[in-house]
Structure formats: C-alpha cells, structure tokens
Amino acid sequence: MTASTLQLVWPNRAGLPQYQAALERGWSPDNVRGAKAAAEELQRIAADPDAFVAAQVDREAKGSPISLPDGSTVRRIPGYRRWLWDGEFCGVISLRWQTGTAELPPHCLGHIGYAVVPWKRRRGYATAALRLTLREARAEGLPHVIITTQPENLASQKVILANGGEFLGRFPMPQGYAEGEEFYYRIVLPGNPG
C-alpha cells in the first residue's frame, strides 16, 4: 500500500480489534507516555469497548481529565482522533483546539499529534495523514496549527516540513512532563495570515 491509498476513518467497533492488537504488540498512540498509555487504553477497551470508541471524538471536552507523565491531571480540551487506514489499522492522528482561539493551554504539546504503527512506517502515511488533518483543522476555524516533536525525531520533523511547517525554535517541556526540550513548528493554514 502507498500513501495515496491512506484514509482517515473515525474510530469504530469494526476496526477496534486491529487497534487493540496494535496496542498488544507494544505500539502506543501516545509518544510521551508510551507503554503506560497503551496499558490504560487496553484496560478501557476491556471495560467498555463502545465507550472507548465513543470517547475518541470529544468535541465538547466532556471526557475525563488528561493524565500527564508526572501523574498530574489537566482539563481536557475539545478534540478527536482519526485512525489511519489502508485496509488495515495503521496508526492515529489527533486534532485538539480551544474554542474561539488558536492558543493552547501550557500543558498541550500542539494541535496535532500522530503515531504510526512500526510495521506501517516509511510509506508516507504520517505525511499524508497530516496533510488531510490540516484541512480538518482549517474547517474547525484554526488559522494555524502548532506541532511539536522531540529534537531527535528526524522522521517527524520531515513530516512537518513536508506539510509547510515553519520551525519556531526549541522550547523546554512544560510542567508535568519530563525535563527536556521540544522542537516547535507552526503551519499556517490556507487562506489564513497565520
């Protein structure tokens, strides 16, 4: 399969077994919390698969608070996840925002986050998924998006740059995260001055 066959689909019960299998193989949709986040998702799926699927789309931020790596929790903001799909589950991409502004709370590491399963990498899927999600971000009224990545994550940096990312600099991780730095990028969405 190639990036041209990639689709973004809404999380659904039919695809949930493949999502669950990816978690069980050691993949995590959370690049910061890793295996801990994957274990929590497996528990939520086991407890109530329908509720898990429904919680992937939360435009009103009604879900439970978000757990940060240090164990603290913060208020959820509106957002949703889409699954990357080429006939099989390939990964996730999420979009989050605050209503009426392009600003994000200090704990939020960007408007968009993505994670491709290891066995589907190097196919251009993350680049294609980000391109498609930028259209959705524009439809949500955002003039631009902020995306962060770790300095050593060259693959993610290439994905961002391929989609028009402008490097804003290195910034320390916010409170609640481990020490370190993130690279920050901004992508101005079509029809917007930024």
Q: Which domains does the chain have, with CATH numbers?
A: 3-188 (3.40.630.30)
Report the C-alpha gap between 11 and 43 in whole angstroms: 17
Instruction: Return the CA Rg of the chain.
Output: 16
161 phi/psi in degrees, rounded to 5: -65, -35
Report the C-alpha gap between 110 and 91 in whole angstroms: 18
Between the CA atoms of 122, 124, 130 and 136, what dihedral angle is there, to the nearest 10 degrees?
-140
27 phi/psi in degrees, rounded to 5: -80, 150
- The tens-digit pLDDT sequence of the chain (194 residues) is 666 789 999 999 999 999 999 999 999 998 877 888 899 999 999 999 999 999 999 999 998 888 877 888 889 999 999 999 999 999 999 999 998 899 999 888 899 999 999 999 999 999 999 999 999 999 999 999 999 999 999 999 999 999 999 999 999 877 777 788 999 999 999 875 55
